[in-house]
Amino acid sequence: MAERSLAAPSPSLTGSVRTTVGTLRVAVLAGGRSSEHDVSLSSAAAVGEGLRAAGHEVVPIEVGRDGVWRRDGATISVTPGEGLPGIDVVFAALHGPYGEDGSMQGMLETLGVPYVGAGVAASAVCMDKVLFKDVASTLGVPQVAYAGIREAEFAADPAAALGRAAAIGFPSFVKPAHLGSSVGIAKVTDREQLAAALGVAFAHDALAIVEAAASGIEVECGVLEAPGGAEPLASEPGEIVFEGEFYDYEAKYTPGGMELLIPARISASARARVRALAVKTFRAVGCEGLARVDFFVDGEEVLVNELNTMPGFTPTSVYAKLLAASGVEYPVLVDRLCRLALERRERESARRN
């Protein structure tokens, strides 16, 4: 559908709400308070372009590093229970803490407005890498060995904390537990490097995770919820190829920093295992809308690494490319996600009534 020229709504977001199956007025939230603020700005810009290409009106809202919502530089105030006047659905293209961890989802629930993606509980679980792995382990999801180390624990008894971390083995990776986009990650090859790596992680988060290095290749699979509760779509798996020791921030967000191979160079049985585990994990943690599930694949061994409830939507991001390779083009994808959000709200309203 051709893009239309639309007048920008006022900062107060006033206006009538559309409830038809046609054009939607979508508030796209960008920025946020986390260290992934700039990544979110890029994601939101791409989401807005996709929604406009699908024929929808887009209301860009920037969430500042100070947490204030602004439209065209003017502060926006919202009231619990009153929704966002004039808005049909919210697409919160926010990454990291205060956007992807359940806090923004809780605010949108309080406002009473439909929103794209996972709800409060699933967002919180999946944003906490340690909690996610704890939940996954109880369900028998295969993954690497790991340990969660709290900053207070390390400060009180460094030797004991380092001992638990070292028990994972070497090489290993130390990460902030609540960040994405490979922020604050360090690879360690011996015990002497652990303390410094934990210090880097604790600069971002009070909880760090130490993970055993996995052999094989990194493979990612996109999951898209289907309307009406049907089986979610698991995309064609893609293989991440990069130059460095691990898939770091520069590789993810620098053009040419990584290459995505679709389909991944894995066997048919491993491919089927990836797709099945992606859907199983998506459902197990209660995700809705979308997710990207990351794996390590070594021959026939498939290990789940993590699940992202709001993967990047930048031009170099993987999720949209995986879905496009599976037959879901970008404008159709963002439109579907908004429709799913409205469908979920209708189900919830019916239960309350």
306 part of the active site: yes
> What six digits make up the tokens of 244?
């460095």
Measure Cα distances from 8 to 18, 31, 46, 94, 324 in Å: 16, 19, 18, 22, 30
Burial class (CB in 10 A: 0-12, 13-18, 19+), 66: exposed
Spatial distance between the Cα atoms of 39 and 311, rounded to a whole number of angstroms: 11
181 part of the active site: yes
| CB-CB neighbours of 110 under 10 Å | 12
294 part of the active site: yes
Catalytic residue among 71, 292, 336, 344: 292
Catalytic residue among 220, 236, 306, 335: 306
CB 340 within 8 A of CB 116: yes
312 part of the active site: yes
349 part of the active site: no
CB 264 within 8 A of CB 217: yes
CB 117 within 8 A of CB 310: yes
- In 3D space, the residue among 123, 119, 127, 124 whose CA is nearest the CA of residue 347 turns out to be 119
| CB-CB neighbours of 79 under 10 Å | 11
Catalytic residue among 98, 253, 319, 330: 253
- In 3D space, the residue among 296, 317, 303, 326 whose CA is nearest the CA of residue 233 turns out to be 326
Spatial distance between the Cα atoms of 333 and 250, rounded to a whole number of angstroms: 26
Catalytic residue among 36, 100, 248, 288: 36
Catalytic residue among 57, 128, 211, 294: 294
| CB-CB neighbours of 324 under 10 Å | 17
| Peptide bond before residue 9 is cis, with ω within 30 degrees of 0 | no
Catalytic residue among 103, 123, 181, 235: 181
Please report which residue ranges of the chain form alpha helices under DSSP H.
37-53, 103-111, 120-127, 129-138, 151-156, 158-166, 194-202, 249-253, 268-284, 318-325, 330-352
- Residues catalogued as catalytic: 36, 181, 253, 292, 294, 306, 308, 312
